[in-house]
Chain A
């Protein structure tokens, strides 16, 4: 089937599937369990805010309150680091990846379980269309949920530094959202493809993430992992923003301690290439799967 025809068909074939996938993902109990886990640091942040907000040091400049730490440092510079550190566990870290693994299972594996995939395989729809619609539905829903969560979390963490602090560090929020988008584009395509090929996708996805992305990403061959490219983008962006970070903070050094960070443009390109490549790999799996 021609690419042009697929694009034209997507205008009518994608919206109903997106609606269905979005509904299924949003009504899944596991989604809400993970959202509750994600909201824990938000609740903790609120608690700290109401406990210590009266003890903050501040000065007013042009009617705007600028808050300081006890050491006289700008409070928002402290809080932004806390926000980024916690995001690397939650919004762009392990917890968000769990959501991605769950989404991929609901999007692909569940269609095998409910046998709608069998009906699609008897219909004139190309496997690339089948895979892409579900993958894109997952990316849009995942980015919407995690993006919204990260924004709420940002506001809760940064409100300790007042309106000034929130507005001053929007760059960090933009970076986190950029990383969320790239993470979902890269990882969800891999997870979805795993769901096509394996009968126990949860386990395989988790093993892949743990052994490949976590162990390989700390070694000399880390360019083989997506985490390397995501970390390269974070490292470069933080350096650009003037943060005091080193390549080794993000594991972007080899055994000789040479910096092996990849250029952010190349990294972004590679994430997209990985996303597209796994669309083809997943579609091939759908086409060759026997029932």
Chain B
């Protein structure tokens, strides 16, 4: 099992705290790590990659300390946010070099490197020097280096930056297929939509502390003190007023508003489970057919802003 465990990990850089008392368990599949700049995402990744030791606490990747374990590094692929190239090498030379570090025979290494780079759409440029590459090409080269040796654990720090839409889509599908193969993938991205598409498992981190981790829907349910806003759009717009009046009779509805122009009502509830259980029954009883029920609050974007921007504490 490719598991990552953090037990009360704190990492200090002098007087500056990188992460504080982080306890996590990351299982196979895709997990998104989200947080603003300086939140502690990179420190978390560095600790689990063995690039730095925790000041307090313990980290175990597949049951071992990652700091100086060469065997473990054979199983981990890392795509950093920053550039890290031997600029005078071509992409094939660069990727095959790292494959040879993983004990691949030089001929096999070149063949695999070419295959991986071709798959990522770098076929025409893979023999050119990296120093001539665009940002997107560099990103693909980094991904090829980190994935060509088929690692069981993938740490991806902003893997979509600089990628064109085609590459982004390709990468998304690749990440999904790697996840289906049972790999453990930790992905950090500022583009929440990308993470939302890939996984429901998230770690929200801010000021070095984990604010929440787990399934995003479950996290949202636990935040019962924050009302969920749900938009309901009946087909027959004449039903807007009767519907809002009926809904406000329920004690689990805290507020309601009609948006005449949009033909919608917005309802606020702090009991999402009751809401989603009883709403269909009410609609059926009142014979109201709706074309859309949508909760923007359930999106990762909303969850992120509520937790990271501290709205839940207000």
Which A residues are closer than 8 A to B by beta carbons? 1, 9, 12-13, 16-17, 19-20, 23-24, 114-116, 118-126, 287, 290-291
Contacts of B145 in A (CB 8 A): 119
Q: List the one stretch of B19-27, B44-52, B300-308 in contact with chain A.
A: B44-52
A237 vs B279: C-alpha distance in the bound complex, in angstroms? 99
Query: Does B177 reach chain A (CB closer than 8 Å)?
Result: no
Contacting pair A114 B53 (CB below 8 A)? no
- The residues of B that contact A23 with a CB separation of less than 8 Å are 88
Whether a CB of chain A sits under 8 angstroms from the CB of B221 is no
* Partner of A20 from B53, B70, B86, B98 at Cβ < 8 Å: B86
Taking the complex as formed, is B82 at the interface, i.e. its CB lies under 8 A from any CB of chain A?
yes
Cα–Cα, bound, A120→B89 (Å): 16
Question: What is the predominant secondary structure among interface residues of chain A facing chain B?
Answer: helix
Residue of chain A at shortest CB distance from B69? A124
Complex CA distance for A104 and B100, rounded to whole angstroms: 25
Query: Is B241 close to A, CB under 8 A?
Result: no
B-side residues, CB < 8 A to A, are 46, 49-53, 68, 70-71, 73-74, 76, 78, 80, 82-89, 93, 97-98, 100-103, 106, 145
Is B68 in contact with A123, judged by CB distance below 8 angstroms? no
Asked if B52 and A291 make an inter-chain contact with CB atoms under 8 angstroms apart, the answer reads: yes
Known: A16-B89, A118-B80, A119-B78. 20 other contacts (CB 8 A): A1-B70, A9-B103, A12-B100, A16-B97, A19-B88, A20-B88, A23-B88, A114-B87, A115-B83, A116-B84, A116-B86, A119-B80, A120-B101, A122-B51, A123-B101, A123-B102, A124-B70, A124-B74, A124-B103, A125-B70
The interface residues of chain B lying within 8 Å CB-to-CB of A114 are 83-85, 87
Smallest CB separation, A76 vs chain B (Å)? 44
- Complex alpha-carbon distance, A124 and B78, angstroms: 12
CB distance from A10 to the nearest CB of B (A): 11
A290 near B51 with CB under 8 A, answer yes
Q: Which of A17, A124, A290 contacts B102 (CB 8 A)?
A: A124
Chain B residues with CB under 8 A of A126: 70
**A12 CB contacts on chain B under 8 angstroms:** 100, 106
Give the distance to chain A from B82, nearest Cβ to Cβ, in Å. Answer: 6
Chain B residues whose CB sits within 8 angstroms of the CB of A125 once the complex forms: 70, 101
A13-B101, A123-B101 as given contacts; A116 in contact with B85, CB under 8 Å: yes
Chain B residues whose CB sits within 8 angstroms of the CB of A291 once the complex forms: 46, 51-52
* Shortest Cβ distance from residue B43 to the other chain A in the assembled complex, whole angstroms: 10
> How long is the Cα–Cα vector from A122 to B80 in the complex, in angstroms?
11
Shortest Cβ-Cβ A-B pairs, 5 listed: A290-B52, A291-B51, A115-B84, A124-B73, A119-B84
Residue numbers in A under 8 Å from B51 (CB-CB): 118, 121-122, 290-291
Q: State whether A124 and B71 are in contact (beta carbons under 8 Å apart), knowing that A115-B80, A119-B78 are contacts in the complex.
A: yes
A-B contact pairs, 12 of them (CB 8 A): A1-B70, A13-B97, A13-B100, A13-B101, A16-B97, A114-B83, A114-B87, A119-B145, A124-B74, A124-B103, A287-B68, A290-B51
- On chain A, the residues within 8 Å of B49 by CB distance are 122
B85 touching A123 by the CB < 8 A rule?
no
Q: Which residues of B contact A16 (CB under 8 A)?
A: 89, 93, 97
- Of all chain A residues, the one with the shortest Cβ separation from B104 is A12
Bound: A121/B70 CA distance, A: 9
Q: Which residues of B contact A13 (CB under 8 A)?
A: 97, 100-101
Q: Is the CB of A121 within 8 A of B50?
A: yes
Cα–Cα, bound, A256→B286 (Å): 113
In Å, the complex CA distance between A278 and B46 comes to 27
Bound-state Cα–Cα, A126 to B51, Å = 14
Nearest CB on A from B15, distance (A): 16
The chain B residue with its CB closest to the CB of A290 is B52
Which residues of A lie under 8 Å from residue B106 when comparing CB positions?
Answer: 12
Q: In angstroms, how far is the closest chain B Cβ from the Cβ of A285? A: 13
B269 to chain A, nearest CB (A): 46
In the bound assembly, the distance between CA atoms of A20 and B88 in angstroms comes to: 6
Given contacts A115-B84, A121-B51, A287-B68, contact A20 B73 (CB under 8 A): no
Q: How far is the CA of A126 from the CA of B49 in the complex (A)?
A: 15
Report the minimum CB–CB distance from B23 to chain A (whole Å). 21
A20 touches B89 (CB 8 A): yes
How distant is the Cα of A182 from the Cα of B44 in the complex, in angstroms?
45
- In whole Å, how far is A17's beta carbon from the nearest beta carbon of chain B? 8
> A20-B86, A23-B88, A24-B88 given as contacts; is B50 within 8 A of A122 (CB)?
yes
Minimum Cβ distance to chain A for residue B87 (Å): 8
Taken together as a complex, chains A and B put the C-alpha atoms of A37 and B51 apart, in Å, by 41
Is A122's CB under 8 angstroms from B76's CB? Answer: yes
Residues of B within 8 A of A290 (CB): 51-53
> With the chains together, A68 CA to B125 CA distance in Å?
64
Contacts of B76 in A (CB 8 A): 122
**Please, how many angstroms separate the alpha-carbon atoms of A9 and B102 in the complex?**
10
Residue of B nearest to A27 (CB): B88
Complexed CA–CA distance, A291 and B89 (Å):
25
- Bound-complex Cα distance A116 to B78 (A): 12
A22 to chain B, nearest CB (A): 10
Chain B residues within 8 Å of A120, by CB:
101
What is the CB-to-nearest-CB distance from A37 to chain B, in angstroms, rounded to a whole number? 26
**A115 / chain B contacts, CB cutoff of 8 Å:** 80, 82-84
Complex Cα spacing A60 to B145, Å: 68
Residue of A nearest to B49 (CB): A122
Identify the closest chain A residue to B98 (Cβ). Answer: A123
Report chain B residues within 8 Å CB of A121. 50-51
Bound form: Cα–Cα A120–B49 in Å: 11
What's the least CB distance linking A135 to chain B, in Å?
17
